[in-house]
Amino acid sequence: MPNLPMINPQLLSMSPEQVQALMPYFLVCGGTIIALLACVLRVLSPKWPVFLLTLATCAVGICSSIGLLHNGTSVTLFNSMMVSDPFASFFNVLFLASAAITAMISFRYLDREKIQHPEYFVLLLFAAFGMMIMTSATDLVMVFIALELMSLSVYALVGFRRTDRRSNEAAMKYFILGSAASAVMLYGAAMLYGATGSMEIHAILQAIRTTPTLMTPLFTLGVWLVVAGFLFKVASVPFHMWMPDVYEGAPAPVTGFMTTGLKAAAFATFVRVFVSLGYGHALTETIQTHFHNILWVIAVLTMALGNFVALTQTNLKRMLGYSSIAHTGYLLVGLIAGSASDQGYAPMVVYLVAYSVMNLGAFIILTVLASRDDGGLNLPDLAGLSRRHPWLAFSMAVFLFSMAGIPPTAGFAAKYMIFSAGVQAGEIPLVVISVLCSAVSVYYYLRVLVYMYMRDPVGSPAASRMSAWSTVALAAMVAMTLQIGIMPARALSAAKKAVTSL
């Protein structure tokens, strides 16, 4: 019976560095709680105060995270339950920015759908806070708790259109499957504890480094179950079944949030846990090859399935859902290549940022265009959009070209980095397959353009008005898509700074 560590009261006190390193977490958590309290203030209409509080919380969170990113220090917290390092700060910025943009585009949407409840924004903040904790967690229990905080908030957001059946179905489906996936992950964590005697990922790594014999089948199975949990969250084949339905049923802005924040969070944590568990440096060669081969197959299947099924979709939300699966595949290529190329996981991180920007942008447009109950998002509804809303159509074209990986957009720069890392890692067949899959994807992205630009409008759809908030958000996304595409060096160096702390 090993000595269980007693809780030392000294561990509960914090040094000034630790307080500083926790600043974004304090600010976001505090802001969330104040926003939650503001919901109860029924004296006034709480929608404005809560909305503005949400934006303010995100803003201060982003500022303090950027400050930490510039500092570049790694601080271990809470008896190695968490670490606040540039990697976490980098992603915190991404999560909070995507939450802020989601809030900005949701404001009018909620009014229009008559579901303007301030709790929506609080749930968004809780989800973002869960993501922040999850990415900085270094203990599997902490990962699990953060994952649940994030997931539960998102389950509620998915079902936020209470009177719509599809929204309810999506929430239910996501909840049941998501819970099963969380359980699988927890089970994996328990097995790792059984195999190595710790839940803390660095301690696990230390254990298998010092005694390689600990890499028993129990250990491998544990790792696989944890990985399966992540593969579910990033929606890779064969754990993708929930995604199209949930994407279609969830309110449009929530779908945008899920494809960006949630996916980025899952991938970031995936990378941290995966690297910390010794992928690419500490595992025995057999286990390493074994992991590599299975991920290789999963990546290929994910890309192929996502792209080919997207070809047949006529609903835009569903199509972007399948396209999101396809992008998971490209990201997995980055993950596979990451351990063997000299750029490390930086290309994958850039890809996550690029993907978040362009996808969030596309969902801003869908949110603006959606009619009641998220109708009017089928391809024919877009016919002649370039006449009705030239700037919306132009922005959408930028995002679609970016998703298709056509220069000079962020999607191209990111694909270039990720695939060139793949070639460096000697994965030429995988890169050729990815490239051909992305050629397939061009067809369905361009089909949207065909409707927007090359067909005449049918009937006279209700003119959708954009709020100033959405306009600002959309302009920012277009600018970033082009900026990362034309000047990718800064994004890459920031990403490199982030991944070196892993």
Partner 1 sequence: MAWFDTNLLSTLVFLPLLWAVIGLAVPAKASRFWAAAGALLTFGLSLLVYSRFQTDGAEFQLMESAEWLPSLGISYTLGIDGISLWLIMLTTFLMPIAIIGSFSAIEQRVKEYYFLLLSLETAMLGAFVSLDIFLFYVFWEAMLIPMYFMIGIWGGKERIYATMKFFLYTLVGSLLMLVAIFYLAYMHKQQFGSYSTLITDLYKLQLEGGTFWTAQSLIFLAFAAAFAVKVPLFPLHTWLPDAHVQAPTAGSVILAAILLKMGGYGFMRIAFPMLPMGVAYFQLAFMVLAAIAIVYGAWVAMVQPDIKKLVAYSSVSHMGYVVLGLFALDPISVSGSYYQMLNHGVSTGALFLLVGMIYERRHTREISAFGGITKVMPLFALVFMIVTLSSVALPGTNGFIGEFMILLGSWKANPGLTAIATTGVIFGAVYMLWMFQRVMFGPVTDHHNEELKDLNFRELAIMTPLIAAIFAMGIYPNFFFSKLNPSIDRMITRTMGKTGFKGLSGVARAATLPESHS
Residues that bind partner 1 (CB under 8 A): 343, 401, 406-408, 412, 416-417, 419-420, 422-424, 428, 431-432, 435-436, 438-439, 442-443, 446-447, 449-450, 453-454, 487-489, 492-493, 496
Task: Give the nearer residue to partner 1 in terms of CB position, either 234 or 417.
Answer: 417
- Minimum Å gap between C-beta 260 and partner 1 is 24
- Minimum Å gap between C-beta 296 and partner 1 is 17
Long-range contact pairs involving 196-203 (C-beta distance under 8 Å, separation at least 24): 197/2, 199/139, 199/140, 199/141, 200/80, 200/81, 200/138, 200/139, 200/140, 201/138, 201/139, 201/140, 201/272, 201/273, 201/276, 201/277, 202/80, 202/138, 202/276, 203/80
Q: 171 to each of 313, 488, 492, how far by Cα in Å?
A: 21, 37, 36
- Minimum Å gap between C-beta 423 and partner 1 is 4
In degrees and rounded to multiples of 5, residue 455 shows phi and psi of -115, 155
- Minimum Å gap between C-beta 426 and partner 1 is 9
Helix (H, G, I), strand (E, B) or coil at 375: strand
- Minimum Å gap between C-beta 385 and partner 1 is 13
Task: Give the nearer residue to partner 1 in terms of CB position, either 247 or 444.
Answer: 444
Task: Give the nearer residue to partner 1 in terms of CB position, either 256 or 422.
Answer: 422
* DSSP notation for 169-226: HHHHHHHHHHHHHHHHHHHHHHHHHHHHS--BHHHHHHHHHH-GGG--HHHHHHHHHH
- Minimum Å gap between C-beta 485 and partner 1 is 9
Helix (H, G, I), strand (E, B) or coil at 83: strand
Task: Give the nearer residue to partner 1 in terms of CB position, either 302 or 343.
Answer: 343
Report whether 273 contacts 365 (CB < 8 A).
no
- Minimum Å gap between C-beta 422 and partner 1 is 8
**CA distance linking residue 44 with residue 261, whole number of Å:** 31
**CA distance linking residue 32 with residue 25, whole number of Å:** 10
**CA distance linking residue 445 with residue 177, whole number of Å:** 29
Sorted by sequence, the CB contacts under 8 Å of residue 114 that are 6+ apart come out as none
Task: Give the nearer residue to partner 1 in terms of CB position, either 294 or 439.
Answer: 439
**CA distance linking residue 405 with residue 233, whole number of Å:** 24
- Secondary structure element (H or E) that encloses residue 76, with its range: strand 75-77
- Minimum Å gap between C-beta 93 and partner 1 is 21
**CA distance linking residue 223 with residue 204, whole number of Å:** 11
Q: 198 to each of 138, 205, 318, how far by Cα in Å?
A: 11, 10, 41
- Minimum Å gap between C-beta 493 and partner 1 is 7
